Amino acid sequence: MGDNSDFNAKFGKLAGRFTNIVLLGFFTTLCCLPIVTAGASFTALNSATKAYLFENDDKPLRIFFASFKKHFGLATKIWLLHILAYAILIWDYVYYRTSDATIDILAAAGIFVTFAFLVFETTMVFVVIAEEKSDKVFRTIKIALDIAMISPLRSAMILFLEAAVVIIALFLLRGLILIIPGIIAYLAWQIIPDMLKNYKFRNSSRAGNEPL
């Protein structure tokens, strides 16, 4: 009898966690559809995931929409800068990959590595905004870069997880495409707390000490 109760409790908890991951992933994707709103959507996903996993908030969607509205301005400004950076890198990659020359191959490889690092930096930017450690564009980007450099191994792990989930969804389980963000956020937040712990958010603009 006791074993059944424990099993039911564990199963219920697992089912609830799965349901929330699916819902957060779906609404994140939905709120990204205009493209320009993706920054606010991923920021909201990070806020909701943290609240659900570490603050025992059983209504992560409420946190999601509240964060989306609260951080929309800053997240959108930074996201637009990232779109520009991605566009430039993609254009350069297409240009250099058309040739067999050694210099072009090396240039294309360099662009790919830069692109991968930018993907991770983008992830951490929205984490920093969700954590409300900065309310300035360039200060937020600087913190994200600092965190990436302080914890390179964990950065690589998050980047690997992101790539693995996307590849699995695209080539093996296409039904996961709509909920990819929720899965990635859940996995990433198994690593992110330690990264944030290692970084001291000194001179945060929230403290009023940062002019940027």
pLDDT of residue 106: 78
Run of H or E residues at 63: helix 60-70
Q: What is the pLDDT of residue 100?
A: 67
What kind and span of H or E run contains 191?
none
Q: Which residue has the tokens 């989930």?
A: 165
Dihedral sign for Cα atoms in the order 43, 49, 54, 58: positive
* 107 and 96 Cβ atoms separated by less than 8 Å: yes
Contacts for 119-122 with beta carbons within 8 Å, 24 or more apart?
Answer: 119/159, 119/162, 120/148, 120/155, 120/158, 120/159, 120/162, 121/145, 121/148, 122/82
Amino acid at position 28, single letter? T
Is residue 152 within 8 A of residue 129, CB to CB? The reply is no
Nearest Cα neighbor of 28 from 50, 15, 46 is 46
Per-residue pLDDT, 209 = 42
Structural domain boundaries in the chain: 17-202
Query: Which tokens is 107 given?
Result: 């240039």
Angle between helices 38-54 and 60-70 (to 10 degrees): 140
Q: Is the dihedral of CA 47, 49, 55, 58 positive or negative?
A: positive
In whole angstroms, give the CA distance from residue 112 to residue 93.
7
Verdict on whether the full-model pTM lies above 0.75: yes
Q: Which of 185, 149, 139 is nearest to 165 (CA)?
A: 185
Residue 159 CA from chain centroid, whole number: 10
Give the C-alpha separation, 84 to 78, whole Å.
10
- Angstrom distance (rounded) from CA 24 to CA 98: 39
Q: Mean pLDDT per segment of 10 residues, for the chain of length 212 residues?
A: 61 77 93 93 96 88 96 96 90 71 74 82 92 91 89 88 87 79 93 87 47 39
